[in-house]
Amino acid sequence: MAQVNRKQLLDCALCPNMCRCECPVVQAWGKEAVSPSGKSRLAHLLLEGRLSWSEEFLEALSACVGCRGCQTLCPFPELDLAEELLAARQEASQAGVCLHQVAPYLGNLKKFGSPYGQGRGLAPAGERGAAVLYFAGCTAAANNPQSVETALALLEKAGVSYQTLDEFCCGYPAEIWGDLELARQLAADNRERFAASGARTLVTGCPECRWTFTRRYGAWGIELPLEVVDSTTFFLGLIREGRLQPRPVQGIDTVTYHDPCLRARLEEDWERPRELLGLIPGLTLVEAASSKEKVRCCGGGQMAQLTFPALAETMARRRLAELPAVSAALTDCPFCRESLLVGGGTVMELTELLGRACIER
Amino acid sequence: MSSLPETTIQETNLSKQESSQLLQQLRTLLGDDNVSAAAVDRLAACRDYWPMGTLWFLEGKAPALPDLVVWPRSTEEVAAVLTLARKHGVPVTPYGEGSGALGGVIPLRGGIVLDMKRMNRVRHLDRENLLVTVECGLNGALYEEYLNRQGFTGGHVPQSIRCSTVGGWLACRAAGQFSTRYGKIEDIVASLKAVLPDGTIFQGRPVPRSSTGPRLDHLFLGSEGTLGVITEAVLRIWPLPEKQALLSYAFATLEAALEAIRRVIHSGARPAVVRLYDYVETSHHFPETKEAEGRCMLVLISEGHSDIVAAEAKIIDAYAREHGAVACGPEPVKHWLERRFNVSLASTLFRQGAVVDTIEVSANWSNAASLYHAMQEALLKVEGTALASGHWSHVYPDGAALYFTLCGFPPGDKADYYKQLWEAAMTSCLALEGAISHHHGIGLHRGLWMDQEHGPGLEVLKRIKKALDPDGIMNPGKMGLEEALRWRK
C-alpha cells in the first residue's frame, strides 16, 4: 500500500490554504472541507487517529480531481497533495470504508473489467500479432465508440497494421477509489495480455490510462513489455511522415484546445496537440483564458462525473465560461470531452477532428 | 455520525433537538444541498489561521464547532437565514475563506456558520465609472484575475489574496500591499449591501461622495460579522498600470529610512508599494544583495501613468540619497514580488513545535521608530521568544503600519506563552499611542485590548451593536464587545 507522507501532509494542513484559488473543486463547490488544506487537515486528524473513518470524511478526501492546480502555487517543492490523498483513500479502504456512489462502479470493475459494466469495453479487432496495439480505455469505448472507430480508421488510412484486445480497465479507477489490490490485479492481467498480443507499441487516447501504464505500473512492480504512446503524438508522427494528409474541415474554422490536466501538468506536453492542430489547414486556434500549464480542470479529473456528478457539472460550466466562442472545442481526453459537453456546444477529441480532416470528403 | 474532536473554547451549542428542527427549517428555505449538519462540514468551519487554532489542531482539538453550516446563494437567502436565526436566538457566524489571523470566525456559541463562498459572482463591470459590483464570497485572486482579463486592477493585494474573499476584506477592514497608491479597502469600496440581524437589507449607493449624514456603508467595514452580513459590494477599480518602476535602497539606520519615506510621502508622491525592513528581515529576505548587508532595505514600486512614475522615481531617489541610502536596483523588488505569498516557513516552524505569529499596528511618524524599538524589546523579553523582527508598510502622510513577525519556542504552556507575547505587544503599543491593529482586525483574541484601544469610545460601538443586534446573535464573543469567557481565562 502507498504510504501517506505525514510530514508533507502536515505542512499542507498548517498552511492557510494559499493555493485554494487554483483548486477548482473548492471554487466550484464552496465547501470548506474540500479546500486543499481542509482535506489535509482532515486527513491528518484521521491518520493520527484523532477521528475515525466515516463515509463523509472519505467523501471530502475523495473530492480531488488530481489536476494539481494547487501545486502550481505550492511552496513545498516535494508535496503532491493529490498523491497523498490517494494514499489516504487506501487507508480508508483498509478500514472498510467505501463511498456508496463508488461501490457499483467498483463492483462492475471487479466483475467485468470495466466500471461501466458488461459489454461496454472494446472488442478484439485488427490483425492478430500486429506491432501496434490500440487501447481505447473504458470511457471512450463505453461512451464515445465513434471516436475509437475513427482512431482505428485513421490507422487503417495510414496503413498501420494494428490490433485491439478485449480490453480490461487499466486500473486507474480502482486506484483513485482506494482499491489498490484490484488496481494491481488489473495491471498484472494487462501485462499478460499485452505480452501475449505480441505488440511493441501501445497507442492510447486516454491520458489516465497512459498515466497509469507509464507512471503507476512500475511503482506496482509491473513492467510492461511495450512502449506506450499517446494517440496525438502517434497521429502527429503519421502526418509528419505524410501517411495522413489532413484537409480543411467543413464547418470548423476557429477552435480552442482544452488541455487535459494530466497531459499539461504532469506530462508537461501542451505543444504537440497544438502542433497537430496547426497541421490541419484552415483552422485558427484561439487560446482559452487559462491554458497549457495554467489550465483549470473541467470536472473530468479522477472520473468525477461518476462519483460527484453535480460538482463535475459545475466545474465544467466554470471551465466553459473560460473558453472563447469558437466553432469547436477540442481536447484529447475522453473525460474532458464528456465534461465539456454539458454546455451543448461542439466538443470533439482531436482524433475525431483528425478523422474528419483525413477521412471524410 | 462521525466522531468530532474535543473543543477548547466552546461556550455553548444547540441541543440536538434544536439543531435538528433548525436543520429542517433551513433545508426548506435553502434546499438540502445548501445546509449541512455533517461532522465534516462542522469541523472544517471551526477555525481560521489564528495561531491558537493551529496549535490546538496539532493537539487534535478544535476551538469550537458550529451546529450547522449553511451556504446562501443570494442576499435574500442570507436575510431568510438571519430572520430565522433571530427568531430562535441562534448564533450566526459568517465565514469566507478562513484566512483571518485572530480567531474571528470561531463559532464560540455554536449555532450556524454562514459560509459565503457560493455567492461568488461578478455582477456588473462599469467601465465608464471604473466600478465593479461583486458578491462577497468571491475569492480575491479570482476577483483580481477577472479584472486583469478586462484590463483593470482592483488595487487590493493583501498577502492573503489567494485565500481570502472580497467579503472578508470588507469585514476586517483590510489593507493590500499596493495600498499606498490605491488605498485600503475603505477607500476602494464605493458602496455595499449588507443584511442586518433582523433580516433587513441595507443597500448603500455607489456615489463618489455624499454629505448625507455618516457614511453608513462604512459602519460595516471592520465589523467582522458582528453587526450583520456583507453580501455584495461596489468596488473602485483602475486601468492596469502602463508603467512600473521597481526601486530599492539600503539605509544605514531605520530612522534615516523612515525619515526619507516621510519626506517622499509629504512631497505628494504615492508609490503603490513602500516596504521598509529592519536589519533582521533585511538579512533574511535579501541575503544576495551585498549593498544591504548590515543595513535596512526599502523596496518601492511606483506604477501608473509613465509620466507620474518617472516623476515619483525621481523624487524617491532624491530623498533616499539625501538620507544616505545606497541604491540597490530592481532585483530586490523582483525577489519580493516572487516570494511575497510564500508563508511556508510558518508551517515548518509550527510542525517543529514553535509558536509563530504576526502582529501589525500603526503609529504616527513621530512615534514610528520608538514604537518599533519598544515593541521589539517587550516581545524579546517574553521567555521563549526567538525572533521579533519587523517591517513598515502601508504609508500615510501621518504615519505607517508596523508589522512584526514572531517566533518562539515556549518553555511551558503554549497558550500561556501566546497570551504573554500579545500582552507585551499590545501594552507596549498602547503606551506609545499606536493603534493595536492596522489591518488584521480584532477577531476573538485582540478583543482583550479593545477597551484600552477605544477607552469610553467603545461604548458607542457597543450601543450600535445593541441597536442592530439586540439579541446578540451575530458572531458573539468577538471584537471585545462582550466577554469571550473561556478564552479570557
Q: How far apart are CA A97 and CA A94, in angstroms?
A: 7
Question: Is residue B71 less than 8 Å (CB to CB) from chain A?
Answer: yes
pTM given for the model: 0.97
CATH number of the domain encompassing residue B277 = 3.30.70.3450
Q: Which residues pair with A256 in a beta bridge?
A: A329
Report residue B489's pLDDT band, with 50, 70 and 90 as the boundaries.
low
Of A18, A27, A41, the CB nearest to B57: A41
Question: How far does B286 lie from chain A, in Å, by closest CA?
Answer: 18
Q: What is the C-alpha separation between A14 and A187, in angstroms, rounded?
A: 36
What is the C-alpha separation between B310 and A106, in angstroms, rounded? 65
Task: Tally the C-alpha atoms within 13 A of residue A232's C-alpha that lie toward its C-beta.
Answer: 26
The per-residue pLDDT for A306 is: 96
pLDDT, average across residues A194-220? 96
Angle at A72 between CA A71 and CA A76, to 5 degrees: 50
User: Is residue B426 a part of any domain in this protein?
Assistant: yes
| Domain-located, residue B420 | yes
Q: What is residue B488's predicted lDDT score, i.e. its pLDDT? A: 77
Domain contains B487: no
**E strand segments, A161-292:** 162-164, 201-204, 227-230, 254-257, 284-285
With residue B25 as reference, give the H or E element that holds it. helix B16-30
Q: Do A59 and B40 touch (CB under 8 A)?
A: yes
Find all residues with CB under 8 Å of A134, minimum gap 6, and list them: A126, A148, A151, A152, A155, A162, A163, A164, A202, A203, A204
**CATH number, domain with residue B198:** 3.30.465.10
Do the Cβ atoms of A305 and A299 come closer than 8 Å? yes
Q: How many residues does chain A have?
A: 361
Q: How far is B6 from chain A (nearest CA, A)?
A: 9
Query: Shortest Cα distance from A50 to chain B (angstroms)?
Result: 6
Kindly state the percentage of chain B with pLDDT values over 90: 98
Non-local CB neighbours of A77 within 8 Å, separated by 6+ positions: none
Q: Which of A12, A15, A19, A21 to mutate to test the interface with B (most CBs of B within 10 A)?
A: A21
Q: How far is CA A270 from CA A261, A267, A293, B219, in A?
A: 10, 9, 8, 50
Q: Which three cell numbers stand for residue A87?
A: 494514499
Do B349 and B399 lie in one domain? The reply is: yes
Residues with Cβ within 8 Å of residue B481, at least 6 apart in sequence: B226, B447, B450, B461, B462, B465
Question: What's the CA gap between B365 and B370, in Å, rounded?
Answer: 10
Same structural domain, B110 and B140: no
Residue B127 and residue B234 in one domain? yes
CA B67 to chain centre: 26
- Asked if A17 has any chain B CB less than 8 Å from its own CB, the reply is yes
Q: What are the beta bridge partners of residue B303? A: B244
CB A205 within 8 A of CB A140: yes
Q: Give the integer Cα–Cα distance in Å for A4 and A1.
A: 9
Range B259-282 burial, b when 16+ CB lie within 10 A, else e: bbbbbbbeeebbbbbbbbbbbbbb
User: Which of A12, A20, A310 lies closest to B162 in CB terms?
Assistant: A20
What backbone torsions phi and psi does residue A26 show, to the nearest 5 degrees? -70, -30
Q: Name the residue range of residue B133's domain.
A: 122-239
Interface contact flag, A32 B348, Cβ < 8 Å: no
* Burial class of B301 by CB neighbour count within 10 A (0 to 12, 13 to 18, 19+): buried
Sign of CA dihedral B213, B218, B224, B227: positive
Looking at residues B123-151, what average pLDDT do you find? 98
What's the Cα-to-Cα distance from A167 to each of A151, A184, A309, B75, B241, rounded to whole Å? 16, 16, 26, 52, 56
- Comparing alpha-carbon positions, the chain A residue that sits nearest to B163 is A18
Q: In angstroms, what separates the C-alpha of A58 from chain B's closest C-alpha?
A: 9
User: How confident is the model over A265-293, as a mean pLDDT?
Assistant: 96
Min Cα–Cα distance to chain B from A60, Å: 8
CA dist B168 and B307 (Å) reads 35
CB contact under 8 A, A33 and B44: yes
Radius of gyration for the alpha carbons in chain B, expressed in angstroms and rounded: 23
Q: Are residues B93 and B167 in the same domain?
A: no
In a domain, B214, yes or no: yes
Tell me if A16 and B3 make a contact (CB, 8 A cut-off). no
- Taking an 8 Å cut-off on Cβ atoms, the answer to whether B139 and A10 are in contact is no
How much is the average pLDDT of B257-267? 98
Instruction: Say whether both B363 and B420 belong to one domain.
Output: yes
Subunit contact A42:B43, Cβ cutoff 8 A? yes
pLDDT level of residue B483 (50, 70, 90 thresholds): confident
Residue among B40, B99, B157, B339 with most chain A CBs within 10 A, to mutate: B40
Q: What is the chain B residue with the closest CA to A60?
A: B40
Show residues of chain A in contact with B120, CB under 8 Å: 27, 30
**Helix axis angle, A6-13 to A81-94, nearest 10°:** 110
Q: Residue A20 and residue B140: Cβ atoms within 8 Å?
A: no
The DSSP letter of residue A267 is: S
Closest by Cβ to A21, choosing from B39, B57, B139: B139
SS3 A228: strand
Q: State yes or no: pLDDT of A89 exceeds 90.
A: yes
Region of A23 (left: φ > 0; alpha: ψ -120 to 50; beta: rest) is: beta
Task: State whether A16 and B95 contact (CB < 8 Å).
Answer: no
Cβ burial A236-257 (10 Å sphere, 16+ → b, else e): bebbeeebbebeebeebeebbb
Asked whether this complex has an ipTM greater than 0.95, the answer is: yes
How close, in Å, is residue B307 to chain A by CA atoms? Answer: 31
Q: Do residues B217 and B289 both lie within one domain?
A: no
Q: Do A51 and B2 touch (CB under 8 A)?
A: yes
Q: How confident is the model at residue B487 (pLDDT cuts 50, 70, 90)?
A: confident
- How many other CB atoms are there within 10 angstroms of residue A107's CB atom? 12
Instruction: Give A92→chain B minimum CA distance, Å.
Output: 14
Q: Distance (Å) from the C-alpha of residue B54 to the closest C-alpha of chain A?
A: 7
Contacts of A75 in chain B (CB under 8 A): 342-344
The residue to which cell 436565526 is assigned = B85
pLDDT at residue B306 above 60?
Answer: yes
**B5 contact residues in A (CB cutoff 8 A):** 45, 50-51
Residue B456 lies in a domain: no
| Contact call for B162 and A18, based on CB within 8 A | yes
**A73 contact B CB<8A:** yes
Q: Examine the pLDDT at B24 and tell me if it is beyond 50.
A: yes
One-letter amino acid at B424 equals A
For residue A312, give how far its alpha carbon lies from the nearest alpha carbon of chain B (Å): 15
Note whether B233 and B247 are same-domain residues: no
- For residue A119, the model assigns a pLDDT of 76
**Which chain B residue has its CA at the smallest distance from A33's CA?**
B44
Q: Exposed/middle/buried for B45, CB within 10 Å: 0-12, 13-18, 19+?
A: buried
Q: Are B32 and B91 found together in one domain?
A: yes
Residues of A in contact with B350 (CB under 8 A): 14
**Residues of B (86-105) whose Cβ lies below 8 Å from A:** 95, 97-99
- Residue A360 has a pLDDT of 66
CA distance B85 to B69: 13
Q: How far is it, in rounded angstroms, from Cα B122 to Cα B146?
A: 9
Q: Is residue B463 part of a domain?
A: no
B21 and B67 co-located in one domain:
yes
Question: According to the model, what pLDDT value does residue A361 have?
Answer: 55
Please report, as a single letter, which amino acid is at residue B115: D
Classified as helix, coil or strand, A26 is helix
Return the bridge partners of B139, or none: B165
B137 with B96: CB under 8 angstroms?
Answer: yes
CATH number of B62's domain: 3.30.43.10
Q: The CATH number of the domain where B390 resides is what?
A: 3.30.300.330
Cα–Cα distance for residue pair B381/A138, rounded to 1 Å: 66
**In the prediction, which pLDDT does B486 show?**
79
Q: Select the residue of B40, B58, B115 nearest A60 (Cβ to Cβ).
A: B40
Cα B202 to Cα B378: distance, rounded to the nearest angstrom: 44
A35 touches chain B (CB under 8 A): yes
Given its phi and psi angles, is residue A206 left (phi above 0), alpha (psi -120 to 50 degrees) or beta? beta
DSSP notation for B274-330:
EEEE-HHHHHHH-TT-GGGTTSEEEEEEEEESHHHHHHHHHHHHHHHHHTTPEE--S
**Which domains can be identified in chain A, with CATH numbers?**
6-94 (no CATH), 125-239 (3.40.50.1860), 246-358 (3.40.50)
- Assigned domain for B486 exists: no
Residue where one domain finishes, among candidates B239, B261, B277: B239
Sign of the torsion formed by the C-alpha atoms of A299, A303, A309 and A310 = negative
- Cα separation, A60 vs A163, whole angstroms: 41
- Of B218, B239, B260, the position where a domain reaches its end is B239
What values do phi and psi take at B172, rounded to 5? -110, 10
Instruction: Give strand pairing partners of B273.
Output: B301
A33 touches chain B (CB under 8 A): yes
Average predicted confidence (pLDDT) for chain B: 97
Q: What is the mean pLDDT of chain A?
A: 96
Phi and psi (nearest 5°) for B288?
Answer: -85, -5
Domain boundary among B239, B261, B276: B239
Digit-coded pLDDT (tens) for B107-125:
999 999 999 999 999 999 9
Query: Is B454 a domain residue?
Result: no
Of A10, A52, A73, the CB nearest to B3: A52
Are the CB atoms for B225 and B251 separated by under 8 Å? no
**Phi, psi angle pair for B294, to nearest 5°:** 70, 15
Interface check for A32 against chain B (CB to CB < 8 A): the answer is yes
Whether residue A189 has pLDDT greater than 90 = yes
The CA–CA distances, whole Å, from B273 to B301, B395, B437 equal: 5, 9, 20
Q: Quote the cell numbers at residue B415.
A: 497558550
> With a CB-CB cutoff of 8 Å, which residues 291-320 of chain A face chain B?
310
Of A30, A56, A75, the CB nearest to B38: A56
Min Cα distance A27 → chain B (Å) is 8
In tens, the pLDDT along A102-154 reads 999 999 999 999 999 987 778 899 999 999 999 999 999 999 999 999 999 99
- Taking the CA of residue B139 and the nearest CA in chain A, the distance in Å comes to 7
Interval B28-41: pLDDT, tens: 999 999 999 999 99
Contacts A51 to B, Cβ<8 Å: 2-5
Instruction: Detail the DSSP E strand segments found in B334-434.
Output: 355-364, 385-396, 399-408
How many structural domains are present in chain B?
Answer: 4
| Whether residue B233 sits in one domain with residue B126 | yes
Mutate to test the interface with A, among B1, B4, B7, B117 (most CBs of A within 10 A): B117
| CA-CA-CA-CA dihedral for B476, B479, B481, B484, to nearest 10 | 60
Confidence band for B1, pLDDT divided at 50, 70 and 90: very low
**Nine-digit cell string for A48:** 493520527
Cβ(B369)–Cβ(B255) below 8 Å: yes
Greatest CA separation for chain A: 65
pLDDT computed for residue A122 by the predictor: 82
Asked if A15's CB is within 8 angstroms of B115's CB, the reply is: no
* Among B residues 25-54, those touching chain A with beta carbons less than 8 Å apart: 33, 38-41, 43-45, 49, 54
Q: pLDDT tens for residues B42-65?
A: 999 999 999 999 999 999 999 999
Distance in Å, alpha carbon of A129 to nearest chain B alpha carbon: 53
Q: Tell me: do B106 and B166 sit in the same domain.
A: no
Pair (B45, B135) in one structural domain: no
Distance CA B56, CA B59 (A): 5
Each residue of A164-195: b (16+ CB within 10 Å) or e? bbebbbbbbbbbbbbbbebbbbbbeebbeebe
